[in-house]
Amino acid sequence: MIDGRLDLSSLEDDEDTLELPDGRVLRLKIEVDQDASINDFDFYGKVSTEHWNTTDYGYKTRPSDMTGNAEKLWYGNYGPWWWEPPADVKRTDTHFPALRDSVRELLAFGFRGVILELCEGTDYYDELIVINSASLWGIDSLDNGYIHEVVRELADEMGVN
């Protein structure tokens, strides 16, 4: 217990579990959010959904929904994607490289969803039986301790103290 509240700090990664004092179990799941997109958030700019256009010379042309400020992004073997940075962010801004890196990572790996399940007992196949759950989706990063904030919020939502 921390300040009279349950210590949830061991719930950090997908499939982590925590046995509660009453024998029930909390299980954490982290999944790719199939529904969230860079284009859902103004903060990241936009990514073209237009298919690649190829010129007679084999070059890939800029999509018609992009301006001259757009650029192609890669992440390892993923890409390229055409990305239009937000209009209010200048390339000379100190945080522009970090924004570009965040967009690359989101394009390659997607947004996440965090699910916290409250389980009680096991079934015939010795699998935990889920009796309640709470979730949060469209998360761009769980770094810098944010996973702990999300887990606490979801536990509070389910009334697990």
- Please determine, for residue 58, whether its predicted confidence score (pLDDT) is greater than 50: yes
- Residue 51: what pLDDT? 63
Using CA atoms, how far apart are residues 87 and 9, in angstroms rounded to an integer? 39
- Residue 79: what pLDDT? 78
CB-based contacts of 30, cutoff 8 Å, min separation 6: 13, 14, 112, 113, 114, 115, 142
Task: Give the chain's length.
Answer: 161
Please state the separation of Cα 30 from the chain's center in Å: 9
Cβ–Cβ < 8 Å for 120, 129: yes
- Pick from 7-16, 63-72, 113-122, 134-143: least confident: 63-72
- Please determine, for residue 1, whether its predicted confidence score (pLDDT) is greater than 50: no
How much is the pTM? 0.82
- Residue 2: what pLDDT? 46
More confident residue, 134 or 49: 134
The confidence band for 124, taking pLDDT boundaries of 50, 70 and 90, is: very high
